[in-house]
Structure 1
Amino acid sequence: MARAAYLAKLREAIATGKIREKPEYGILEVREEVQVPVCWKEKTTRKKEDGTIVISWKDCQGVTTYTPGEVLFPYWRKASEWEFQEWEILPDEELKRRGIIRKNGSFYVQIVSRIRDLPAAVRQRVRHIPAELIARKGAESVIPGDAQIMGDYARRLNRLVDEFLGFQGYSPSLLKKASGVLKQTSAILKNKRTGLKKKALADIRSVFELHPDYFEMPGAISTVMTDLLGQRAINYKMAARSIILGEKWLGLMNEIEIIFRNAYERLCELAAELGKPNVEAVRLLDIAREARGIWIHLNQTVHFDPYYKRIREDDFQGLGNVVRHAEAGKGNTVFNLIKRAAAKLEAVAIGEKVSLDEVQKRREIFA
């Protein structure tokens, strides 16, 4: 899979109009194919004879191609280990030129992910991301998401604190139980990248490394619980923002489909008129010019799949030649070109879509 490019690398393509920003939707549309050089580093480790681990970085290069039809979504990402090492020595002017910001001792940069088409982008925001963050509901079961898991473990830790506070004196069995619960909590936090999860994991490790006094255990456990609940709150906020963004993208889908529907209905009307006998040459030319105007309008306004893919097919692109055929008096050819183009628009948006009703129901969860 091609590596996502930094947004700063697309600025030239944006300036020349090959890629257009749509700030009201937080996305980019690709109007012409763009190839962007990407560079990164891969970490390698080598063990010396004396047991010492040597770490080195291998320079890697590639090209990422963005094509019309894709939905490009810029988002902020925290710097990786190699990026941090490279960027911490750069002056502020260079960081600004590269679109990098420094915040709380870390670096952040916007990268551009891509989604194959607009319906997939809506499903990702309305269904998949909230399901990963909160929970995925099946017909007869619920698969817990990240927030639900955080909440479940926070409740276990809370019950553990209550047991410590309710027990008068020292209890080796309770201490052993606490160790088991903290180890289980630690297991679910391994390889987690968010700040609060890393902090919770560090807090758990402190318990095992520092061996706090028995009567200090409730406070240590409460610290971990606070971290988990903080992450749970963040997950709910992220899920809510994801659904709101998905609703905006659904609105864009509906706008495009209205354009298609209006174009389809008008092409059908023009074809019906051409199906009548004795259409005058002047009227034939007017009809052809109007059909070509529809062709121009859709080519200029539609750049997201699956809609873009439809209008790029030969049966629709044939509308670009209707005026020439009308000028040659080929009424039957004009009729067939318009009819085939209308058929392509009719088939648009076939398949399951996220509905506005579904979006509203999911938003109510976070109201």
Structure 2
Amino acid sequence: MVLVLAKTYINTMTIDIIRNKNKNIIHFLLSAMIFVLISKSYFYFIYVVNLKSNIPANLNFLFVWSFRILLLSLVLFIRWNLYDILLFIIGLAISMFTGNSMILAFFVMGIYCRNNNISNDYLVKNYLFITATFFFALILLNALKLIPNGQLHYRGNTPRNDFGFGNPNSPFLACLPLYAGYIYLRFDDYDNYDRALLIVVSLIIYFQTYSRTGLITIFAILLFIEILKRINIVKNRFMSYLIILIPILITLFSFFTGMFLNNDFFNEILSHRPEAWNVYIQNIKLLGNSNYYTIRNTYPLDNSYLYSFVIYGVLFTISLIGIYTYYIYKNVIDNNSKIIAICSIFLIYSFGENILLNINLNFTLILVLSSISLEKIHHYLKNRI
């Protein structure tokens, strides 16, 4: 036991020496992890979605081991205490139970950011600039015919461009970190030029892809940003309650759509989403449904909330919605509208796409987890009892 403690102490000292000699290593490791996550997602677009093949074995080997080494590096560069160890164990348990290793990555990156005092600005800018690099590079390669369009899609008789993403709905999806990062950085000075830019970009993407889901969702997001800009979320109690309840309200509306809008009219408008969602609602279980992948072969699912309820179960999904609700509540109290704005982008878009647990896109879950302090929660409960 003494030997183990001595080794742990020596390892901690070694990490501290490295940290003190190179002040930038803390930020570098996080940036490298984000780069690996985003780059792998773009190679997935190119090979799996577009070219209908697997990522080459040597390239996949590089991604897998880069991810593992960087995840371990983040763990080593955290100054662990009992509360963070407990939070890590919770993340590890959830990751093992769900079979989704990315959930553990969310937890580690969240703990890492809080433990090392990495600002929200730094995380958001990394996702913005790294995503922008890959996004525009892929569009350029597609325009030069170096990467072809995927399977040809049509809206009526009109061909739909996918910009090399393999699916016409994907460009809007891939743009989310760009919309979120831009709105976050410009929120305090957000003006008519910003509004015009975002609307024009959205229309350009739409008239190439004809993605109705993407355009409607983006416009809903931009409308919500307008509401946030025009109200005082601290003084307006009614709106503050509505904002806090956004994750719950969208979840309830997902159930409402599947249960009560499952008819010919709405199925035609919503590309048969209510029909598919109704099937999934019937297969929700407390701890997840192992038949999910069988069901998906017949009924593709593009709603994050129902997806989580089916594949991960009621307990996990309610916890996920709960921590998002708590995080928005904290930012309403702090009058931090720009954090609420970027969270709403992913929460609203998750109604029509399965992205809430996509670490390559949804960096807000890292922000949510970085805000959780079991130590503060423990002291609060201790003082209340």
Structure 2-normalised TM-score? 0.26
The structure that is helix-richer by fraction is: 2
Greater Rg by CA: 1
More strand by share: 1
Q: TM-score, structure 1 length as denominator?
A: 0.27
